[in-house]
Amino acid sequence: MSSRAGPLNQLGASLWRLFRGRLRALIAFHLLFTLLASTLVLPGIGGITRALYARIGTDVVTTDTLVALLFTPAGLSGALAVQGLAFGLLYWQQAGMLHIALSQRHQNHYRLTLEALWHGTRRLPALIGLVVLQVGSHLLLLAPFMAGLAWLYDAWLGGLETYYLQKVRPAELWYFIACALPLLALWAWLAGRLYLRWLLALPLVALENASPRRALSRSVALTRGWHRSIAAAVLAVLVGIIALPILATLAFDALFAPLLDWLPEYHRVLLPAMLAYLTAYVLLTLALTFAGIAVNALLSACLYMQLARGREYAPTPSGTRAGRLAWAVEFAVIAIAALQAWWILGSFELNDDVAIIAHRGSSKRAPENTLSAFRQAVKDGADAVELDVRLSADDVVMVYHDSSLARLTGDPRHVGDLTREELANFDIGSWFGHDFRGERIPTLDQVLDATRGQLGLMIELKPAPGRGTALAQEVLTALNRETDTRYACWADADEPIAALGRCGYPDARREMRIASLSPTLVRRVKQLAPALRTTLLAQLVLPGTLDRYGFDALGLRHNRITEDEMRLATTYGYEVHAWTVNSPKRMATLIDMGADAIITDYPERLAALLAERRQLGDAGLLLLKFHSWLRR
């Protein structure tokens, strides 16, 4: 065994020689496989995934719902199927690259590519079997640790609200983390050892036609005694795969991005420069993606040759030059990158029409969900405020976020267990600052009266279990009362313009919208008041589980908003609201992505950003949007 120490020490050199010797053939295979996967395989997997989750019959829009779903037989089966499809595709690609890497034939690159694709396809049943055994074993290993974490969570944090944990971070949270970290470290160590033992199973299945079980068993034997050396090699490659795109992007931006700022703001100069920049950026991204995939496969090939065959492998030159087909394919890659760059530029809209929604009022300048916060939001330029409502014990709609009073007052009792009169005795301003001492929990009626003619409201329903419809009906009753008040105000007004500022729009429901994290409750609100606008709030959206016709706007956590989500919104005809966004850079990115509204704790920042952008000409705004796209 000691005779193999030398080759392992020279693994980096072997990997580099193999990469250089098979570069063109690997590029050809990567392009062909990517084309096949993107046009046939991935859409098929996407369709199967959506169909699987659609059969579950549950709208999965929150983390809690997702966790609950994963612990059901249907949810677990769906997750395993999706994992299997994803890893099956990856193993298929890696098998083809392994065939190219270790082929000894002198032949045209593209003939070798087609042969590798056919070879991987013939081994696909065995590869899928390997996925089932390998990935399934890792999931089985994970199961007891997940059960242990769930038990620890119930023991330390059971009954405490997630938001309370995030904001207050009580001692129980740190006790839970202290107990969970050793458990996670043990799982990571065991999972890493299992991965290293089975590292050679894929090349054994792909290259020697071994059965999955035989390949796993032989991999354990071949890697015995080499775990540290293999781990060092795998870790070095992994660090390189992660670090290289980051370093390349930083270098690219540092060298070329400043050049755009020096260009004159004329479309005839800016557009060609942006197109050239984007084309180069897309090509760099494609090259780095290919390099990461190829090096991972070549590492397996080198380890296989050195441990299974007992020798270092150096590829023999193919002896063929790049023919016309090779140049045509590679030119096509450049053309596709240019077309994609042109499509990206064409997607920029010179329109910054986004609504400013103050999250619980100006909640960084005044206590959240208070009249002071809502008045401050008016001064800060907000178009609307988002607020949370709950029912008191005597069915009065109170404006308060948490289910209990613990976070803001220190009292552990729940809002739904106290009457309006009892809730009015709590000071929810002192925690924020001395200037707000004595601030009380307002009712929805008080907020409607204080913001009339100045702000719209996004009213998020926070019902106690089983009280969703009751809360919705009470909110609608309050809006009907507000509408009656506004009509009476208009009847007494002499000047319509002055009346609009004092009374607001006559039908209060036109300036309001109802929001909820529950798709069922949103649908119920639509049944009770079809004309009232609704927003479904979502922490995530599991593909195939959501009826996208059931709301007027989808409120997504801002880091979940993607180009695909924006395209879906256009297709189904609803708005996209981003929450909760406090960074001006992220605000700018979301504006340029086309978000219809941004919910923020700092409405004054968003108002200032919009005012600054409105002062730019079309060319300046285009350049700004381009820079924003690069930061995504």
Q: Say if residue 76's pLDDT is above 90.
A: no
Q: Where are the beta strands (DSSP E) in 350-440?
A: 355-359, 384-391, 397-399
User: What are the structure tokens assigned to 607, written together?
Assistant: 């108002």
Q: Say if residue 7's pLDDT is above 50.
A: no
- What is each CA distance from 603 to 387, 439, 460, 533, in whole angstroms? 14, 21, 18, 22
Q: β-pairing, 533-538 with 397-399?
A: unpaired
Rounded Cα distance between 546 and 482, Å, is 33
Average of pLDDT values for 108-130?
90
End-to-end CA distance of the chain: 49
Q: Say if residue 49's pLDDT is above 90.
A: no
pLDDT at 211: 95
490-549 tens-digit pLDDT:
988 888 777 888 899 999 999 999 999 999 999 999 999 999 999 999 999 988 889 999
pLDDT at 314: 55
361-396 tens-digit pLDDT:
999 999 999 999 999 999 999 999 999 999 999 999
Q: Residue 551 has what DSSP assignment?
A: -
Rounded Cα distance between 70 and 59, Å, is 13
pLDDT at 2: 41
Average of pLDDT values for 595-603?
97
Q: Dihedral angle at the C-alpha atoms of 410, 414, 416, 421, nearest 10 degrees?
A: -30
Q: Dihedral angle at the C-alpha atoms of 214, 215, 219, 222, nearest 10 degrees?
A: 70
Q: 358 forms bridges with which residues in the sheet?
A: 385, 600
Across 5-19, 33-47, 122-136, least confident range? 5-19
Catalytic residue annotation = 359, 401
Q: Residue 72 has what DSSP assignment?
A: S
Residue with the larger pLDDT of the pair 77 and 563: 563
Helix (H) or strand (E) holding 557: strand 553-557
Q: Say if residue 31's pLDDT is above 80.
A: yes
pLDDT at 85: 86
Q: β-pairing, 533-538 with 553-557?
A: parallel
Q: Report the CATH fold assignment for 355-630.
A: TIM Barrel (3.20.20)
Domain extent listing, the chain? 8-257+266-346, 355-630
Assign 569 a pLDDT band (cuts: 50, 70, 90): very high
Across 7-21, 71-85, 90-104, least confident range? 7-21
Local structure of 514: helix, strand or coil? strand
Q: Nearest to residue 303, comparing CAs of 217, 189, 191, 222?
A: 222
> Within a 13 Å sphere around the CA of 458, how many CA atoms are in the beta-carbon half?
29
289-343 tens-digit pLDDT:
999 999 999 999 999 988 888 765 555 555 445 556 666 766 777 887 788 788 8
pTM (predicted TM-score): 0.87
Across 53-57, 127-131, 284-288, 424-428, least confident range? 53-57
Q: Nearest to residue 204, comparing CAs of 278, 127, 260?
A: 127
Query: Average model confidence (pLDDT) for the chain?
Result: 88
